[in-house]
Chains A and B, each alone.
Chain A
């Protein structure tokens, strides 16, 4: 087997494998070094299985709550997390095999091993050395982590991470989730639907702290109705891990309280897979916050070595990593690709209702003293939403008053993850709100709410 390739990619997740495919499309000889399953965290223990579980959760809720109104008679509805989990594994496996197939299709050589970067664009694996003629791309991603300092070291039985949660045979009776970002919110949704008493603990002042305030508020209302307990502005001071339970000492709003739960799920950040892979020896520097130091073209401080995906910088999202993979592949092939607009990457939380956002929040616009006008349209006023009993949520578009630029868009809706793309395309092409409304939107759709929100930002909403 050849030991020299044009490009060697360390990591076969969404950043690495997409980089490989693009490089292969451009005629380069590519090798991918992946020590676990192809598809990385996203396909195997992240995006894909969690979305499968969220679908089960949503269906469980719809059948339980809405069946009668919809004209369907159901008996006792019981839920079994283990079954849902096993389906999610099947979906994940299918996707991982799909990535394997793509590697074969594009004649990309896969090395199922741990690779270590060596000087001179070389990668050592299992006693062998691979040489990259053009470049090595680091795409090793991140992993789950606990907070050992307060006693929340991951023991994977009582103090678990998403890795374990995705493999549980049954839903715990009670669960504290530390961190109310996208991961925490999604697991809260799933376990709540499967009968767990869930408490979300978030150190920042509100759940979904990085989203627009109105989105956080909408989700908080929705979760409250579902009896998901939420403790925003709360931090865990100490955890005492017992045999089948954990006692948490929490300080919320200056007041201490204790919470005893069967399990604690850590969803408060991830750790970089950058130790022991040869960075120091090859001169690849890291930033203060632990990312690999890269320039605007994703080049590291070592000649011929690039960094993409979670390790290269925020946002730590699969689609951002994939886009960086494409960008770097094109750079290596000698092209000058259009730079990635990091200000226009959609952010989605897949709980129900979904939250999708792009651009600035209203608070950020105010902070930057921009002259803006907000357009908002609630789904309670949308025919399609009413017909589908999915009236939770709204579309919010923030318009720059002077030129109509779309400064930010925020959607809370059952299909927010899909609806956001109209605005992603608009912003990528510098369309203003007028151009969004220029396209006739089909009726009856949820997307009409996007056009109406655009009109509302111009002061002329039609259907509210």
Chain B
């Protein structure tokens, strides 16, 4: 019994995937669970596992090509099995998983082939061949041939998804680069964010002397090195348990207020930006957070994150302090309601008790979705964050 290898929806937001490499070739023996290809999704490079065993009889989409989720990309079958009808049968798209649950896609059940549909041809052999070569799903092409059959002109009328990288223009002074999957996703998501979401921004300047001392003490306790970012993550997580109205998702039908805090930390990688999530950050120790954030960042840079590792955050933190940015405003990551942008810790002259003194200071800017968070709500949250950072023992208060 042949197995359809589909482009699976490996994350809730994934709509198409690019086959980075086939790890098995046509004719190779395959067991269920074997990794047969590497697929570049909107966020990461995923391993595609075989869900059946046999020989990898046919690879329908070559490495480098992008296809929509649900498209048939290969067939696993016995050596003697006739797969011609499977290869030609139109595919139904796999249903998109609901965006609010971390999803693992299940492949579509086998679509009945032409024989079971009474032997009527839905597409001419020529049209099928053309569609296959262009990576088009026959199920999406309207047919205008006899009896509604899909014929050559129908396939010609459908444009194929193109993923060609154009060569750099030699004589002039620019280079055109077609965005990779990740960049496209960033572009799409941020247009979806800054455009429709009513952002407002709150800045707070925080005294970091106590936090610096606390960090120094903690780093003497063990081998795990704690960074300022780890402290910020812990502080924000605890603060959010006291300000649940900022730990929320906006959806068209309701606002979801989370009990637990899952902090999405923005990590810069070569191709752009990705946000691995530290789950239940409110109850993890600082050293657990430190270990986890380091490990996630490493894997993020290697594009080896699983979808449930970069989705499902309830609040985001973006830190550009290490790049000398004193202050900046970040774009909210929907469906989250807010994001905190962390600036660099710098020595600043401040007035204290009537005198000027030099203190280490840090500016944070919170971007809020006004549909969920009002000015005062956001401000009160930031006050708590400030208080905890300026007096770290308040974390255990």
Residues of chain A with a CB closer than 8 A to B125's CB: 429-432, 434-435
Residues of chain B with a CB closer than 8 A to A431's CB: 124-126
**Chain B residue with minimal CB distance to A429?**
B124
**Chain A residue with minimal CB distance to B129?**
A403
Flag whether B347 is at the interface (Cβ < 8 A).
no
Flag whether A338 is at the interface (Cβ < 8 A).
yes
Main secondary structure of the interface of A (DSSP, over half): loop
Residues of chain B with a CB closer than 8 A to A404's CB: 126, 129
* Docked-complex contact B133 and A430, CB < 8 angstroms: no
Residues of chain B with a CB closer than 8 A to A338's CB: 145-146
Distance of B8 from chain A, by nearest CB (Å): 29
Flag whether A405 is at the interface (Cβ < 8 A).
yes
* Docked-complex contact B126 and A432, CB < 8 angstroms: yes
Q: A403-B133, A405-B152 are in contact. Are A430 and B146 (CB under 8 A)?
A: no
Residues of chain A with a CB closer than 8 A to B121's CB: 429
In the assembly, what is the distance between CA of A430 and CA of B124, in Å? 6
* Docked-complex contact B146 and A403, CB < 8 angstroms: no
Q: Which of A428-449 contact B (CB under 8 A)?
A: 429-432, 434-435
Flag whether B151 is at the interface (Cβ < 8 A).
yes
Residues of chain B with a CB closer than 8 A to A402's CB: 133
Q: Which of B126-179 contact A (CB under 8 A)?
A: 126-127, 129-130, 133, 145-146, 151-152
**Chain B residue with minimal CB distance to A338?**
B146
**Chain A residue with minimal CB distance to B152?**
A430
In the assembly, what is the distance between CA of A435 and CA of B124, in Å? 11
Number of A residues, CB within 8 Å of B: 11
Distance of B147 from chain A, by nearest CB (Å): 8
Distance of B144 from chain A, by nearest CB (Å): 9
Q: Which of B212-232 contact A (CB under 8 A)?
A: none
* Docked-complex contact B130 and A403, CB < 8 angstroms: yes
In the assembly, what is the distance between CA of A402 and CA of B151, in Å? 16
Residues of chain B with a CB closer than 8 A to A403's CB: 126, 129-130, 133
**Chain A residue with minimal CB distance to B150?**
A430
In the assembly, what is the distance between CA of A434 and CA of B129, in Å? 11
Binary flags per residue of A102-120, CB closer than 8 Å to B gives 1, else 0? 0000000000000000000
**Chain A residue with minimal CB distance to B130?**
A403
In the assembly, what is the distance between CA of A430 and CA of B127, in Å? 8
In the assembly, what is the distance between CA of A403 and CA of B125, in Å? 9
Q: Which of B281-316 contact A (CB under 8 A)?
A: none
Residues of chain A with a CB closer than 8 A to B126's CB: 403-405, 430-432
Q: Which of B96-148 contact A (CB under 8 A)?
A: 121, 124-127, 129-130, 133, 145-146
In the assembly, what is the distance between CA of A431 and CA of B152, in Å? 11
Distance of A93 from chain B, by nearest CB (Å): 38
Binary flags per residue of A409-437, CB closer than 8 Å to B gives 1, else 0? 00000000000000000000111101100
In the assembly, what is the distance between CA of A432 and CA of B125, in Å? 7
**Chain B residue with minimal CB distance to A406?**
B126
Distance of A407 from chain B, by nearest CB (Å): 11
In the assembly, what is the distance between CA of A344 and CA of B152, in Å? 14
In the assembly, what is the distance between CA of A405 and CA of B130, in Å? 10
Q: Which of B338-359 contact A (CB under 8 A)?
A: none
Residues of chain B with a CB closer than 8 A to A432's CB: 125-126, 129
Residues of chain A with a CB closer than 8 A to B152's CB: 405, 430
Distance of B377 from chain A, by nearest CB (Å): 62
Residues of chain A with a CB closer than 8 A to B146's CB: 338
In the assembly, what is the distance between CA of A430 and CA of B133, in Å? 16
Tell me which of A430, A434, A435 contacts B151 (CB under 8 A).
A430
In the assembly, what is the distance between CA of A390 and CA of B152, in Å? 38
Residues of chain A with a CB closer than 8 A to B124's CB: 429-431
Q: Which of A373-413 contact B (CB under 8 A)?
A: 402-405
Q: Which of A39-55 contact B (CB under 8 A)?
A: none
Distance of B142 from chain A, by nearest CB (Å): 15
Residues of chain A with a CB closer than 8 A to B151's CB: 430
In the assembly, what is the distance between CA of A443 and CA of B129, in Å? 30
B124, B125, B133 interface centre (most CB from chain A within 10 Å): B125
Residues of chain A with a CB closer than 8 A to B130's CB: 403
Distance of A328 from chain B, by nearest CB (Å): 18
Distance of B158 from chain A, by nearest CB (Å): 15
In the assembly, what is the distance between CA of A431 and CA of B126, in Å? 6
Distance of A429 from chain B, by nearest CB (Å): 6
B121, B133, B146, B151 interface centre (most CB from chain A within 10 Å): B146
Which 6 pairs between the two chains have the least Cβ-Cβ distance? A430-B124, A430-B126, A403-B129, A338-B146, A435-B125, A405-B126
Could you show 14 A-B contacts with beta carbons less than 8 Å apart? A402-B133, A403-B129, A403-B130, A404-B126, A404-B129, A405-B152, A429-B124, A430-B124, A430-B125, A430-B151, A431-B124, A431-B125, A432-B129, A434-B125
Interface residues in chain B, defined as those with a beta carbon under 8 Å from any beta carbon in chain A: 121, 124-127, 129-130, 133, 145-146, 151-152
Interface residues in chain A, defined as those with a beta carbon under 8 Å from any beta carbon in chain B: 338, 402-405, 429-432, 434-435
Extra pairs beyond A429-B124, A431-B124 (5, CB < 8 Å): A403-B126, A403-B130, A405-B126, A430-B145, A431-B125
